[in-house]
Amino acid sequence: MSVKSCEKIEKSQVVLTIEVGAAEFDAAIEKAYQKMRKKINVQGFRPGKAPRKMIEKMYGAEVFFEEAINNAFPEAYESAVKEQELRVVGYPEVEMVGECTKDGFTFKATVPVYPEVTLGQYKGLSAPKEDVKVTAADVDERLKQLSDRNTRLVSVDREAKEGDTAVIDFEGFLDGKAFEGGKGENHSLELGSHSFVPGFEEQVIGMKAGDEKDIDITFPEDYHADLAGKAVVFKVKVHEVKEKEVPALDDEFAKDVSEFDTLKDLKGDLKKKITEERQKAADRAFEDALMEQVGANITADIPDAMIENQARQFLDNFKMQIAQQGIPYDQYMKMTGMEESKLLEDAKEPATRQVRLDLALAAIIEAEKIEVTDEDVEAEMKKMAEQYNMELETVKKYLQAEQVKDQLMTQKAIAIVVDSATAVKPEKKTTKKKADDAADGEEKPAKKTTRKTTKKAEQEGEKEAE
């Protein structure tokens, strides 16, 4: 094999002109002969025993050329890439040059390579960063979530009302005949949840344990074809009515749901956790805004293959997420009417941003001469083992040292950008109506809120939680 030329063209592609000589091609022909001879019949010889020269004489010297070219190409191409020290990022496009003879052949391989990257500004940038505030209302909302999780249902001997849960048997009939999917037994239905066909839950309200009732329902026009717009009758029997028993928000509640003895201490812990969550979110948003600038600031002739590969990776990640939700990908595509080509097309813009960011980070690592030692990798693996309560050897089994090394170098590169950056206050968003009012030169009265609160509650919601 010899490389006749290596030419750089646009979009960070290289055109290699590669010649496969007589000796290499003859070896490839011999390999093709050994593979194909069993399928070639020659009179006077048992299958697979005819000599190569005899087959070539009968069928022509070119009989093994196509298979031989396929045999010779990969090794010749890989050797050429290695010789020219190319960082290939995609598959080559191949075309033959001239005729193929017993003396060999020449081909061109156009291959995308890692682009040359020129860093733009990556230090001293600025980006908006939200101030983290946690109000009493925020803490109360988190308390409500805790209360909801610890609310239990208790049986009551009264008529069902909205918010209750009714345990029911039901069966639907269309024109006097039971229809498929319209039957259930001991079904717990939360009244007001709107989980049943419109009009059903409202008619269960007022029933009590032991009551039976026929409920008339007309299915919506956009319901599935068999029942769309149809009037049906549901025979319903109530077995039990349950109401929510909401725990009192007091010290006993704090003891039941946490390690704290008082509600005050629980609130303090909730405020701390909410603050930490929001601070992490604000830090991440600040970091993302900075790194997007860094990616946008580089100069690089990025090959299409890198964008396409990243878009395909995004799609593969999406398929995994769908599978984890228990939905087959093919079924999801049918349900949504989506085409995979459209998903890939939509992924190109975020894929481009991701590729630019990856190129920028690699360039920063090189420019800053960032290094990570084996000791750093070992320490990070120990940290992961402690974080996930795993044995260190188990972590090492699933994570390669090189992966951890790359991750640590990336973190150091990002830290250089973030540590040198300035956080600025986000601009206040101006609504269209306010903009229109300003244009009119007239200040309009603020729209009154529909939320009913006491003055004290409003004040508490505005100040930070104590």
Residues in the chain: 466
Indicate whether 436 pLDDT > 70: no
Cα Rg of the chain (Å, integer)? 35
pTM of the model: 0.72
Strands 231-245 and 93-101: unpaired
Whose tokens are 């919601």? That residue is 461
Measured distance CA(73)–CA(367) in Å, rounded: 37
Indicate whether 46 pLDDT > 90: no
Could you tell me the strand order of the sheet in which 93-101 lies? 2-9, 13-20, 104-112, 93-101
Phi-psi region of 382 (alpha: psi -120 to 50; beta: other; left: phi over 0): alpha
Specify burial of residue 173 (Cβ count, 10 A radius: 0-12, 13-18, 19+): middle
Measured distance CA(364)–CA(122) in Å, rounded: 8
Give the helix ranges, DSSP H, for 150-196: none
To which H or E segment does residue 360 belong?
Answer: helix 340-367
pLDDT of residue 193: 92
Inter-CA distances, 300 with 113, 124, 457, Å: 12, 22, 56
Return the DSSP state at 389: T
Return the DSSP state at 90: S
Measured distance CA(89)–CA(288) in Å, rounded: 26
Give tens-digit pLDDT for 368-383.
Answer: 999 999 999 999 999 9
Residue 387, classed as helix, strand or coil, is helix
What average pLDDT does range 273-289 have in this prediction? Answer: 97
Phi then psi for 81, rounded to 5 degrees? -60, -45
What average pLDDT does range 51-70 have in this prediction? Answer: 92
pLDDT of residue 225: 66
Measured distance CA(295)–CA(125) in Å, rounded: 12
Whose tokens are 């004040």? That residue is 459
Give tens-digit pLDDT for 103-148.
Answer: 999 999 999 999 999 999 999 999 999 999 999 999 999 999 999 9
Six-digit token string for 308: 């396409």
Nearest-10 crossing angle of helices 136-149, 263-297? 110
Instruction: Give the N- to C-terminal CA distance of the chain in Å, as an integer.
Output: 77
Measured distance CA(178)–CA(310) in Å, rounded: 52
What average pLDDT does range 177-194 have in this prediction? Answer: 92
Model confidence at 430, pLDDT cuts 50, 70, 90, reads low
Calculate the CA 70 to chain-centre distance.
Answer: 38
Q: Mean pLDDT, the chain, as a whole number?
A: 90
Indicate whether 439 pLDDT > 70: no
Six-digit token string for 163: 């918010």
Six-digit token string for 268: 């303090």
Measured distance CA(37)–CA(48) in Å, rounded: 5
What average pLDDT does range 179-208 have in this prediction? Answer: 93
How many CB atoms are closer than 10 A to CB 71?
20
Indicate whether 389 pLDDT > 60: yes
Lowest mean pLDDT, pick from 52-61, 90-99, 344-353, 451-460: 451-460
pLDDT of residue 241: 97
Among 62, 73, 64, 88, which Cα is nearest to 1's? 73
Residue 238 · residue 210 · CB < 8 Å: yes
Q: Any residues with CB less than 8 A from the CB of 401 and at least 6 apart, and which?
A: 374, 377, 381
Handedness of CA 348, 352, 354, 358 (dihedral sign): positive
